């Protein structure tokens, strides 16, 4: 048995955050989750949820089987995801309920899609796919923007039992063909053009390039989103509107395929430490129960909720919490096609006001962007419908958390910081909004039934106050069922670091109350004079300064201290920065964390290099810090940013000398 470590903690944590937010009594009184949820036996909990959240064609015989590192859940059960997400709501008389309010990026384009509409669209499209030879087990690629036809395509595949892989519309042709080939997709669903920031995104043109390298894809279906012209290849490409023409929308014309609990639902590719993306495997029953259950309790979903997850469906957050979880729960959702500052920086707040959104789920990077723009954009709109806010994707610095609560949530709404991964499928560490005392920057407690812990280098459990590596010690329903066609890499990446437990690759610490603080990826941990310091803690301290809009921190080699801390800082209001400011910030970090965490140098920059999903690319910042040639920059949202930073970094160090 793992004991409590007596050797030093694997990651030292120094930043203390002392603000606390109790659940508001009126929220607690009506909440889906009550404190006794934590007292339930783990098996009992998932057994009950399995029966309550999902409709089965055939009941399961056994809750789970665990042959490390592979789990099976709801063994022997049969069901269909689309039946659960669409048909059963219509059968229950909720056909008129809105499934999605869709906002196009152009301000005058809107669609309201009820569950009955969604069923008709899915059935017609599934009939069309069937005619093209798609059936149970046919792998299908999907490469689209944020249009309603994207969930329709996913649900049509799931209806037929055809596993899909959705490739984020911001990825390049190379990324797309790599994924299509790895999954051996036979058909691709795409669209002529996407719309982003007022400009057209050439999806079909990228797809054409990708298909040149993906000979296994015999057919492409193209949804016409814009008037833009694209080339259609004879014998391969078909228009969406042509293939659905004349197809029946009667659900009995295309029954939902009964699927085994463990049949493949989808692959989603995620990048790791090597160049080749990993095809993360998600199956049917455990995934659906996991996402529906967490969605219900963590977001406190009510029958009349209008829930908006502002992620892209191309990422796991969109799969689990725009499409499968919310639809399984029969929830009304919002889908927005474009960027938050089109045509102006108040677009999000306009959307919340228009649809009276009560739950907003987004990423810290988006919150910091809004913070940088200033609260006046939110102030122009009535956001009083909001009841609950959520974040996901990276550690949230306490200042952004508090800003979100104060300026978006009127200092009234709980904020749930949810930790999970593409691999975990569902949220695993999170507050429950009617139960948990919130601490800005902490994802708080493992979800009921989840056994999370923090280990040191040697695999000993670290006690309260100490930092180390986040591990999961028990299987959970939505967990990945492996890396597609790569058993060895699956075992190596997740199950070899410590024996018998899942290694998440994240640093974490547990405080005296048993609350978890995520410290970023383990490779985002710096070692300065033998002290391990998480980049996020230094970033939080920097962003805590009133002049700082955004900060990214990384380590560079240093002869004296092992590693030295380099900070890249964007100041509010376009301020350029100065030597005085640099000193002020170094001292600020010293007072917030301690002199050990003082950045050795600070580079002021108008933008940070980010991926199109909004993650800061620290790898590139490390390259700049170490004066190395830049690694792969193809996933950058704006490759010019990093050149600019390089230039500033060299003039900055010249100043230092």
- Among residues 89 and 370, whose Cβ is nearest to ligand WTA? 370
Q: Is 335 exposed, middle or buried (0-12, 13-18, 19+ CB in 10 A)?
A: buried
- Among residues 182 and 506, whose Cβ is nearest to ligand WTA? 506
- For every residue of 110-122, which 3-state class applies, written as one string? EEEEEHHHHHHHH
SS3 for 569? Answer: strand
Structure tokens at 641: 């940013």
52 CB contacts (<8 Å, ≥6 apart)? none
Cα separation, 200 vs 209, in Å, equals 17
Please report how many Cα atoms fall inside a 13 Å half-sphere around the Cα of residue 248, on the Cβ side: 8
Structure tokens at 81: 């995801």
Give strand ranges (E) for 5-156: 62-67, 70-75, 78-79, 98-103, 110-114, 140-143
Q: How far is CA 202 from CA 179, 191, 232, in A?
A: 19, 9, 14
- Among residues 172 and 270, whose Cβ is nearest to ligand WTA? 270
Structure tokens at 369: 């962007």
Q: How far is CA 235 from CA 26, 232, 239, in A?
A: 61, 9, 12
- Among residues 393 and 577, whose Cβ is nearest to ligand WTA? 393
Residue ranges that bind ligand WTA, judged by CB under 6 A:
270, 315-317, 392-395, 417-422, 443, 504-506, 518, 521
Smallest separation (angstroms) from ligand WTA to the CB of 378? 22
Smallest separation (angstroms) from ligand WTA to the CB of 363? 8
- Among residues 270 and 385, whose Cβ is nearest to ligand WTA? 270
Smallest separation (angstroms) from ligand WTA to the CB of 287? 14
Other C-beta atoms closer than 10 Å to the C-beta of 468 total: 27
Cα separation, 290 vs 293, in Å, equals 5
Smallest separation (angstroms) from ligand WTA to the CB of 12? 18
Q: How far is CA 408 from CA 336, 369, 381, in A?
A: 18, 13, 10
Smallest separation (angstroms) from ligand WTA to the CB of 52? 25
Report the interhelical angle of 285-298 vs 42-53 (nearest 10°): 100
Give strand ranges (E) for 255-393: 259-260, 264-270, 278-283, 306-309, 332-336, 359-362, 388-391
- Among residues 95 and 614, whose Cβ is nearest to ligand WTA? 614
Smallest separation (angstroms) from ligand WTA to the CB of 253? 37
Report the interhelical angle of 115-131 vs 149-160 (nearest 10°): 60
- Among residues 191 and 391, whose Cβ is nearest to ligand WTA? 391
Smallest separation (angstroms) from ligand WTA to the CB of 651? 32
- Among residues 194 and 393, whose Cβ is nearest to ligand WTA? 393
Smallest separation (angstroms) from ligand WTA to the CB of 413? 17
Smallest separation (angstroms) from ligand WTA to the CB of 395? 4
Closest CA to 453 of 69, 70, 2, 45: 2
- Among residues 121 and 417, whose Cβ is nearest to ligand WTA? 417
- Among residues 590 and 636, whose Cβ is nearest to ligand WTA? 636
Residue count of the chain, please give it. 657
Smallest separation (angstroms) from ligand WTA to the CB of 400? 12
């Amino acid at each position: 048995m793992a004991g409590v470590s007596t050797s030093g903690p694997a990651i030292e944590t120094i930043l203390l955050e002392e603000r606390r937010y109790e659940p508001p009594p009126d929220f607690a009184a009506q909440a889906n989750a009550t404190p006794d949820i934590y007292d339930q036996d783990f098996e009992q909990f998932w057994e009950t949820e399995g029966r309550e959240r999902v409709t089965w064609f055939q009941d399961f015989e056994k809750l789970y089987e665990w042959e490390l590192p592979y789990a099976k859940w709801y063994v022997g059960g049969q069901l269909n995801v689309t039946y659960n997400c669409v048909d059963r709501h219509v059968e229950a008389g909720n056909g008129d309920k809105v499934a999605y309010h869709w906002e196009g990026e152009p301000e005058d384009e809107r669609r309201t899609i009820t569950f009955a509409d969604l069923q008709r669209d899915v059935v017609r499209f599934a009939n069309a796919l069937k005619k093209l030879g798609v059936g149970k087990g046919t792998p299908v690629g999907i490469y689209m923007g944020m249009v309603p036809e994207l969930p329709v395509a996913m649900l049509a595949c799931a209806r037929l039992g055809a596993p899909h892989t959705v490739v984020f519309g911001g990825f390049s042709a190379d990324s797309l063909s790599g994924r299509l080939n790895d999954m051996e997709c036979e058909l691709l669903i795409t669209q002529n053009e996407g719309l982003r920031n007022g400009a057209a995104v050439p999806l079909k043109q990228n797809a054409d390039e990708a298909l040149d390298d993906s000979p296994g894809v015999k057919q492409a279906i193209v949804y016409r989103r814009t008037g833009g012209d694209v080339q259609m290849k004879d014998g391969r490409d078909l228009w969406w509107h042509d293939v659905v023409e004349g197809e029946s929308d009667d659900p009995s014309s295309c029954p939902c395929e009964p699927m085994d609990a463990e049949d493949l639902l989808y692959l989603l590719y995620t990048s790791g430490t090597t160049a080749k993306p990993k095809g993360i495997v998600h199956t049917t029953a455990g995934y659906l129960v996991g996402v529906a259950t967490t969605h219900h309790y963590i977001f406190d979903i009510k029958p009349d909720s209008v829930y908006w997850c502002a992620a892209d469906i191309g990422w796991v957050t969109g799969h689990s919490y725009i499409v499968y979880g919310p639809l399984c729960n029969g929830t009304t959702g919002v889908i927005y096609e474009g960027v938050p500052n089109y045509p102006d920086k108040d677009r999000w707040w306009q959307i919340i006001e228009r649809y009276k959104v009560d739950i907003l789920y987004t990423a810290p990077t988006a919150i910091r962007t809004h913070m940088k723009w200033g609260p006046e954009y939110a102030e122009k709109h009535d956001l009083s419908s909001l009841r609950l806010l959520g974040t996901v994707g990276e550690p949230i610095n306490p200042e952004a958390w508090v800003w979100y609560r104060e300026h978006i949530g009127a200092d009234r709404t709980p904020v749930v910081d949810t930790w999970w991964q593409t691999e975990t499928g569902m949220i695993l560490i999170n507050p429950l909004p009617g139960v948990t005392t919130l601490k800005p920057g902490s994802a708080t407690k493992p979800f009921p039934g989840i056994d999370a812990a923090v280990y040191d280098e040697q695999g000993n459990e670290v006690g309260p106050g100490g930092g180390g590596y986040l591990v999961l010690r028990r299987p959970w329903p939505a967990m990945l069922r492996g890396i597609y066609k790569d058993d060895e890499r699956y075992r190596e990446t997740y199950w070899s670091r410590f024996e018998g437990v899942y290694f998440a690759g994240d640093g974490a610490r547990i405080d005296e109350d048993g609350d978890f603080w995520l410290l970023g990826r383990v490779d985002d941990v710096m070692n300065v004079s033998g002290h391990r310091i998480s980049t996020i803690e230094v970033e939080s301290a920097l962003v805590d300064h009133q002049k700082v809009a955004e900060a990214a921190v990384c380590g560079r080699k240093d002869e004296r201290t092992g590693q030295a801390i380099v900070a890249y800082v964007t100041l509010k209001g376009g301020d350029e920065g100065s030597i005085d400011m640099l000193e002020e910030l170094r001292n600020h970090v010293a007072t917030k964390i301690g002199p050990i965490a003082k950045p050795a140098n600070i580079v002021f920059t108008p933008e940070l290099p980010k991926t199109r999903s909004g993650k800061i690319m620290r790898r590139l910042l490390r390259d700049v810090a170490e004066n190395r040639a830049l690694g792969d920059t193809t996933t950058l949202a704006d490759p010019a940013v990093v050149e600019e930073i390089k230039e500033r970094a060299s003039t900055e160090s010249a100043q230092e000398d």
